[in-house]
Amino acid sequence: MAGPPLLVRQRRQGALSDRVLLVGNRDHVASLVVALGRAPDAGYQVVGACVDDAREGRVAGVSILGPESDVLVKALEHRADVVAVSSSAGLGQAGLRRLGWALESTDIDLVVAPGIMDVAGPRVLTRPVQGLPLLHVEAPRFGGPQLVLKNVADRIAAVLALVLLSPVMLGVALAIRRESDGPVLFRQERVGRGGRSFGMLKFRSMVADAETMLPALRVVDEGAGPLFKMRNDPRVTRVGAFIRRYSLDELPQLVNVVRGEMSLVGPRPPLPREVATYEADVRRRLLVKPGLTGLWQISGRSNLSWDESVRLDLYYVENWTPVLDLMILWRTVQVVLRPEEYGAY
């Protein structure tokens, strides 16, 4: 399969991108740095920040160039293409208007970043009232015709995938059986929509008594938050390492999709012990079915921090659309074929 387009590849390397100067308080600037860093494809390269509550040093790895009042001078000095002003900026309405006027004589664009984070475009409508641009944010929807269509499409696609991938699944099963004793499939309790438990299926990628060995390995846990991860887990078999690297161990979950327990795309299916530690906001993951793949899988997988994993899952829960599902499925194919780039182990 062909890699990403040339423009995307170059932007990920820092080329063909707009140089951005951020304006706002320290916390909001840090959030913007992280948000823009998550999307190198968008073509924004942060060159610095103007912050009133921290005149020097760095914020989220970006140099603080001076106070907000110096934004125009610093934008010209550092050849910025865009000035991005956060909702926390102390410029005020009059100051923002004057900054816009000052930038008219330059080639620098002005962008205003609202305080609303992780809300997708289709949920945001602009409604001007007497020259005041009000942002109307629609509530997320967890039901309706689109969800019914998603459930039906999931099951039909899962049945077709089981048929098409049956030779691959048979080959994996034979390889597991040949290498080590024990069952071919591994069934593990996971928590699905609404907090209901179900038995998630995977090809066994570890030795048969892997669960009994887990307590002794927790002292070398490399996972994020309540997740247990080890880059060189001694319980993983040789065949298991291969099928985990290319996500072949996940294929039996197509059966869970046919049963209606999972979706093709959704949040990562959590373990009961993980759910027991969830705070109220994290429990919103359980408003939809867990997925065989999701934003977490195409955005770094095992390299993600716990907070980032949660953020991606909650973004999906609240902004799901059929187009987003198709994008994630397409990117999943790329991840599977190039696991070394996406934190698979």
| 269-278 residue pLDDT tens | 999 988 998 8
Angle among Cα 165, 166, 170 to the nearest 5 degrees reads 120
> What pLDDT, on a 0 to 100 scale, did the predictor assign at position 20?
93
Based on the fold, state whether residues 102 and 188 are members of the same structural domain: no
Q: Is the pLDDT of residue 119 over 70?
A: no
Based on the fold, state whether residues 156 and 297 are members of the same structural domain: yes
pLDDT digits (tens, 9 = 90+) for 222-249: 555 566 666 777 788 899 889 988 889 9
Based on the fold, state whether residues 166 and 23 are members of the same structural domain: no
> What pLDDT, on a 0 to 100 scale, did the predictor assign at position 252?
97
> What pLDDT, on a 0 to 100 scale, did the predictor assign at position 2?
45
> What pLDDT, on a 0 to 100 scale, did the predictor assign at position 297?
83
Q: Please report which confidence band the pLDDT of residue 187 belongs to, taking 50, 70 and 90 as the band edges.
A: very high
Based on the fold, state whether residues 237 and 315 are members of the same structural domain: yes
How many structural domains are present in the chain? Answer: 2
Q: Is the pLDDT of residue 343 over 90?
A: no
Asked whether residue 204 is assigned to any structural domain, the reply reads yes
Asked whether residue 126 is assigned to any structural domain, the reply reads no
Q: Please report which confidence band the pLDDT of residue 198 belongs to, taking 50, 70 and 90 as the band edges.
A: very high
Asked whether residue 19 is assigned to any structural domain, the reply reads yes
> What pLDDT, on a 0 to 100 scale, did the predictor assign at position 221?
59
Asked whether residue 123 is assigned to any structural domain, the reply reads no
Give the amino acid at 276.
A
Last residue of a domain, one of 115, 132, 161: 115
- What is the percentage of the chain residues whose pLDDT exceeds 90? 36
CATH number at residue 19: 3.40.50.720
Based on the fold, state whether residues 160 and 229 are members of the same structural domain: yes
The whole domain housing 319 covers 145-341
Sheet containing 18-23: give its strands across: 58-59, 62-66, 44-50, 18-23, 82-86, 109-113
Based on the fold, state whether residues 91 and 155 are members of the same structural domain: no
> For residue 186, what are its two tokens?
């591994």
> What pLDDT, on a 0 to 100 scale, did the predictor assign at position 1?
40
Asked whether residue 129 is assigned to any structural domain, the reply reads no
Based on the fold, state whether residues 222 and 90 are members of the same structural domain: no
| Residues in CB range of 156: below 8 A, 6 or more apart | none
Q: Please report which confidence band the pLDDT of residue 130 belongs to, taking 50, 70 and 90 as the band edges.
A: low
Q: Please report which confidence band the pLDDT of residue 256 belongs to, taking 50, 70 and 90 as the band edges.
A: very high
Helix (H, G, I), strand (E, B) or coil at 191: strand
Based on the fold, state whether residues 111 and 159 are members of the same structural domain: no
Based on the fold, state whether residues 15 and 76 are members of the same structural domain: yes
Q: Is the pLDDT of residue 152 over 70?
A: yes
Asked whether residue 225 is assigned to any structural domain, the reply reads yes
Based on the fold, state whether residues 52 and 191 are members of the same structural domain: no
Based on the fold, state whether residues 176 and 105 are members of the same structural domain: no
Give whichever of 82-86, 87-91, 190-194 has the largest mean pLDDT.
190-194
Asked whether residue 121 is assigned to any structural domain, the reply reads no
Based on the fold, state whether residues 98 and 176 are members of the same structural domain: no
Distance CA(181)–CA(161), nearest Å, equals 28
Q: pTM for the whole thing?
A: 0.73
Distance CA(157)–CA(254), nearest Å, equals 9
- Which of 34-43, 48-57, 217-226, 315-324 is predicted with the least confidence, judged by mean pLDDT? 217-226
Angle among Cα 38, 39, 45 to the nearest 5 degrees reads 100
User: How high does pLDDT run on average in the chain?
Assistant: 83
> What pLDDT, on a 0 to 100 scale, did the predictor assign at position 162?
97
Asked whether residue 131 is assigned to any structural domain, the reply reads no
